[in-house]
Amino acid sequence: MSTYAVLMGTDAAHLTQGNGDLLPILQVVYAETLRLRMHFYIIRMPDRTEINTRDWILPRRKVVVTPTTAAHKDPEVRNTILNNEPSVDRFWIGGFLRQPSKLEYDTAQSQNTAFSLVSLEWSWIPYGGEPQKCLDRLFAKRQILLTSALMGFGSGMSHPAGKVPMRIRRRS
């Protein structure tokens, strides 16, 4: 059984048929992996004026270092206390999925779950946040997707269904 089959509860051949229902799940796996496994610091310096945020004052021309782990593993953001959901230290595929509302479901706008970051602004900061996002974030995403595809489907070629007629001619 492949990696994708374990994650999705289906066989890998189902993914290759262009099934759009699995796209939100693949996006969630990517986002949840970054949330759970990426730990780094965001370094900023307010250069024009001091910044007032909640109970904190960030002075002008002082370096501020913030770990992303505190935001990524905040139980209040994930609603783990109220909804009895898995711990923030465990991989959980439901954190980024949005269920369609009754109105959307009735009007047939969206009858499937969808990937959403709506309730997670500034609590999911996979590449450092604006305005100085990681410049290699697109390369990193492509590498993660390539590695996942190679794990799921291998790097070999597909074999033909039957015999392939061919003739080799000698060059003259």
- In 10 A of CB 50, how many CB atoms? 11
116/96 Cα distance (integer angstroms) = 6
What's the burial of 10, exposed, middle or buried (CB within 10 Å: 0-12/13-18/19+)?
middle
User: In terms of DSSP H, where are the helices of the chain?
Assistant: 3-8, 12-15, 23-37, 68-72, 75-78, 102-106, 137-153
Q: Which of residues 130 and 127 earns the better pLDDT score?
A: 127
63/117 Cα distance (integer angstroms) = 28
- In 10 A of CB 84, how many CB atoms? 7
pLDDT at 34 over 60: yes
Task: Give the start-to-end residue ranges of the domains of the chain.
Answer: 22-152
Confidence of residue 54 (pLDDT cuts 50, 70, 90): confident
* Amino acid type, 39: H
pLDDT at 79 over 50: yes
User: 152, 4 in Cβ contact below 8 A?
Assistant: yes
What are the tens digits of pLDDT across the range 133-151?
777 788 888 888 788 778 7
| Lowest mean pLDDT segment, chosen from 28-32, 96-100, 114-118 | 96-100
Q: Which of 109, 115, 140 is nearest to 126 (CA)?
A: 140
pLDDT at 1 over 60: no
The DSSP bridge partners found for residue 98 are 114
114/108 Cα distance (integer angstroms) = 14
**Whole-prediction pTM:** 0.61
pLDDT at 18 over 70: no
What count of residues does the chain have? Answer: 172
Confidence of residue 2 (pLDDT cuts 50, 70, 90): very low
Confidence of residue 55 (pLDDT cuts 50, 70, 90): confident
